[in-house]
Structure 1
Amino acid sequence: MRRFLSVYLLTVAVPAGLAIFAVAMLANGSSSGGAENTSGQGGSQLVYRLLIATAIVVALAAAAGALARKLRQPPVIGEMAAGLVLGPSVLGWIAPDEQRWLFPQFIMPHLNTFAQFGVVFFMFLVGAELAPRTLMASGAKAVVIGHASIALPLLAGVGVGWWLYTVFPPATDPGLLPFVLFIGVAFAITAFPVLARILTDLKLLRTPVGTTGIAAAGIGDVTAWCLLAAVVAIVRGTSMISAVIAVLLVLVFGAVMFFAVRPALTWVLHRAETRATPRFPIFAGLITLVLAAALATEQIGVHPILGAFAAGVVMPRGSRLVTELTNKIEGITIWFMLPIFFVVVGLNTKLASLSGGLQWLACGLITAVAIATKFLGTGIAARATGSPLRDSVALGVMMNCRGLTELVVLTVGLQLGVLSPALFAMFVIMALLTTAMTGPLLRSTMPTAPVQSDRKASQHDPALL
């Protein structure tokens, strides 16, 4: 059956899709109004163009993710690269008219909406993946390593951010303080879901070094998200007092979620499972909670992703209903909404803006400092807390994995006007390189770890993220 499906896809689906795309291009070229004049047409034209764009995006992202897996990379590498290929840096350079036709301006707000919902549900899944028992499995050692993995990058980010602020000032000036803090947070992020997938593929997740690494990554990421909430509050605040109020409101929100919502969820879900309550009202209520939490943090003055992340963290572990819901949300988020997010990132990434030697020098500096500070901060703390040298090196490699989580942070910075298009492109390159190097370096550092087969690794792949 699998062979027939593969043959069908290659001999029928792919040619048919290309034929539809070619006919659409010819029909568009023969029309008198041109592509850009379609913005004034009705909703049917909008849906038609959205269907074409999203179908191509999803198909290319799936193909790129499969290719990345064949190359022993996490699929997110291929999907991130696919977003860049469809943007102005590749397709826009090779075939600018076709790129503008595929992504006309009048569909961009709708693609952005899909992308933002994808990010919200992605952050919910990230929060749901953070098991408190796992985070504390290594005790104080994981706390020390996790905080060390963000402290030195944060410090270096403040220093590099001060230089970047003078050389590449953002178009919408947020002020020096929020700018350097944001750069520090961007350096400090580790992609917890992608790292979990890599460790699973290498069969390291249940080893002592893997347990310590995933716990340290989770602790570090929770801390980094709290810092990001403070930075966003400072950027959006009209004064330092309003920013402090926003941070205090976030703390109140977190306390309500942990000490009121979480026990209530545990009670409701336990009763629903023991009494065989229909799933639809339970799932609808949980999704409403995610959206309400995202709305709450947006209204506070930070970002909706923080609320969605908190909603994921407070979900009861071990609940069959929560597991079923996350599995269902994971599919539509990974296969549909996140590929659109990658394309939106790709459309905002203009490598042509790095036209001079100074820009590429800054890009190299950002990447080198991001790698070195993560590696040194993590490795020194691991060695000082008793880890062998090889494990310390491996932990330094793990914490350098940034993946999609970094792109989420960078997109927030671009939306807030903290990052200019040139800086955004530099940090996207850094995110790609640091994610791509994690798997190969871990294989060379931990050579005894066998790799799972592609078939087994692809059965449940939460870190397509």
Structure 2
Amino acid sequence: MVSKLSSIEVLHFLVIVSVVLITARVLGEICRKFKQPVVVGEILAGIIIGPSLLGTFFPDVFNNIFLSEPRAYGAFDGLANLGIILLMFVAGIEVDLKQIRSQGKQATSISITSIALPFAMGFGAVWFFHDYIFPVPSNDRLIPSLFFGTALSITALSVIVKVLIDLNIIKTKVGSLVVTAAMVNDFLGWVLFSIIIKMMDPGKGDGSTVSILVVLLFALFMVTGGRWLIDKLLGLTKKHISGPGGIITVSCCLCFLGAVITEYLGIRGVFGAFLMGIAVGDSKHFSDSTQNVLHQFVMYIISPLFFASVGLRVNFATNFDLTVVSIIVGIASIAKIVGAGIGARASGLKKNESLAIAFGMNARGSQEIVLGIVALQVKIIDERIFVGLVVMTVLTVLIAGPLMKYYLEKHLAESKEPAEVDIPISTRILEQPEVVTTPVTIKG
């Protein structure tokens, strides 16, 4: 049995948590003041207090805080990984299956084309130029190619909701379509990534194929019959356990259970937590007030620890490769903007509306970073590529709002149409780490 942490190790653990949380929250609030997503400040906090800056210029201070007691840092890393699980659980809660169905043809068109083209270009870039991008030549190009295609094709639901709220256009036709298409992106992206992780198992072959099918069946169950079972369970919880604490307790237990199931099936627990979040968020017993309590804890305590830990894992100064960053940012942005734009135009939207949607769908965020960390841990990618993914995330977030605003104003000026369109919007759309202090409930 592993011995418990010593007194000095507990002290270092508390110091690490305090330093990381304070720095992440301060920089997050600074970004909020400048109308930028909080997650950008949280990532920058990790870069500043991590090996990139503090470790380079004040190595003794960095070593004393983070490296002098390895088991203390290991405990912090475990806490940050718990943050990933809870973060993706909350992300799943935001996916509103009713809204996805109600938006119909237009959202489906935008979502499919905004996934297909980035996936194809990301896959092709690695497949044909693997040895140029990766430092070690390899004959096994399939898994890295699939990962690149998936990582470059997902839109960050939480980021784009924040952008739409800041621009005051979340109730418009454009805002509704972007949110719905981003929901579909999230779900399909995690299904694809779960398959990629399973393909990395040493025991490939028929067993792996069966496991992938089991995972897909589990995902199908969770968005169908599983939703009904969880709704009944939460109803019993509400009846027999007083206060929102009972619902939160059972919901978090379900989150961890979902993570256990998918880990047992051979993929990462974040996917199970995401699926469980979809089912829990769909329940009529999971109220907005309950979601608010869970949201506040995850997004302002656990989530900052995770995003700051991104900067602690890699030295961004020594692993910054301009060629790799340029390839990732270029392929991700061009393919996503063109793909989403084509889908929007094909669904009947006008040129400037389509461009506004395209730049909105180009916003990346927490999902890409979670995927990147998982891929780094299982050695699909190296540190240079991880740094490139983080840089791509930050840049696409920064340009999404201004360009959406520009093209929407241009569209309104040309068409003289009113800004508001009476389209039902989900009451479940809340922000993730990039959000304002209180979650937003939006009614159509």
TM-score (norm 1): 0.83
* Residue-by-residue CA offset, 1:367-410 (whole Å, 9 max, x unaligned): 11110000000001111211111111111111111111110010
| Aligned match of 1:393 | 355
**Alpha-carbon distance in structure 2 between the residues aligned to 1:174 and 1:218:** 35
Aligned-pair CA distance for 1:101: 1.7
Q: Identity of paired residues, percent?
A: 28
| Aligned match of 1:100 | 63
| Aligned match of 1:295 | 260
- SS of the aligned residue for 2:280 comes to coil
The residue type equivalent to 1:55 in the other structure is: S
Q: Check conservation: 1:83, 1:339, Cα contact below 8 A.
A: no
Q: Check conservation: 2:83, 2:298, Cα contact below 8 A.
A: yes
Distance 1:96 1:444, change over 3 A: farther
**Alpha-carbon distance in structure 1 between the residues aligned to 2:381 and 2:39:** 23
Q: Check conservation: 1:410, 1:427, Cα contact below 8 A.
A: yes
**Alpha-carbon distance in structure 1 between the residues aligned to 2:139 and 2:250:** 38
| Aligned match of 1:304 | 269
Distance 1:203 1:320, change over 3 A: farther
- SS of the aligned residue for 1:236 comes to coil
**Alpha-carbon distance in structure 1 between the residues aligned to 2:147 and 2:135:** 12
Query: Is 1:109 aligned to 2:93, yes or no?
Result: no
Q: Check conservation: 2:110, 2:340, Cα contact below 8 A.
A: yes
**Alpha-carbon distance in structure 2 between the residues aligned to 1:174 and 1:428:** 27
| Worse-superposed segment, 275-284 or 417-426 | 275-284
Query: Is 1:427 aligned to 2:367, yes or no?
Result: no
Query: Is 1:71 aligned to 2:34, yes or no?
Result: yes
- SS of the aligned residue for 1:137 comes to helix
| Worse-superposed segment, 313-322 or 327-336 | 313-322
Q: Check conservation: 2:100, 2:180, Cα contact below 8 A.
A: yes
Distance 1:175 1:70, change over 3 A: same
**How many matched pairs?**
413
Q: Check conservation: 1:77, 1:436, Cα contact below 8 A.
A: no
Aligned-pair CA distance for 1:271: 5.0
Q: Check conservation: 2:109, 2:346, Cα contact below 8 A.
A: no
- SS of the aligned residue for 1:352 comes to coil
Query: Is 1:257 aligned to 2:235, yes or no?
Result: no
Q: Structure 2 matches for 1:328-407, cutoff 5 A?
A: 328-354=293-319, 359-407=321-369
Distance 1:295 1:367, change over 3 A: same
| Aligned match of 2:431 | none
- SS of the aligned residue for 1:54 comes to helix
Query: Is 1:443 aligned to 2:405, yes or no?
Result: yes
Distance 1:193 1:237, change over 3 A: farther
Q: Check conservation: 1:197, 1:461, Cα contact below 8 A.
A: no
- SS of the aligned residue for 1:139 comes to helix
Aligned-pair CA distance for 1:222: 0.9
| Worse-superposed segment, 80-89 or 167-176 | 167-176
Distance 1:171 1:330, change over 3 A: farther
Aligned-pair CA distance for 1:411: 0.5
Which of 338, 351, 374 is residue 412 of structure 1 equivalent to?
Answer: 374
* Residue-by-residue CA offset, 1:288-311 (whole Å, 9 max, x unaligned): 111111000001011100100000
Which of 47, 50, 53 is residue 87 of structure 1 equivalent to?
Answer: 50
* Residue-by-residue CA offset, 1:194-239 (whole Å, 9 max, x unaligned): 2112212211111000000001111122111111111111112521
| Aligned match of 1:214 | 179
TM-score (norm 2): 0.87
**Alpha-carbon distance in structure 1 between the residues aligned to 2:272 and 2:288:** 20
The residue type equivalent to 1:180 in the other structure is: S
**Alpha-carbon distance in structure 2 between the residues aligned to 1:170 and 1:371:** 24
Distance 1:42 1:249, change over 3 A: closer
Aligned-pair CA distance for 1:364: 0.9
- SS of the aligned residue for 2:168 comes to coil
The structure carrying a bigger helix percent of its residues is 1
| Aligned match of 1:458 | 436
Distance 1:198 1:246, change over 3 A: same
**Alpha-carbon distance in structure 1 between the residues aligned to 2:137 and 2:282:** 42
The residue type equivalent to 2:188 in the other structure is: T
Distance 1:376 1:120, change over 3 A: same
Aligned-pair CA distance for 1:418: 0.4
| Higher gyration radius (CA) | 1
**Alpha-carbon distance in structure 2 between the residues aligned to 1:237 and 1:85:** 37
> Any gaps of 5 or more consecutive residues in structure 1?
1-39, 451-456
Q: Check conservation: 1:153, 1:188, Cα contact below 8 A.
A: yes
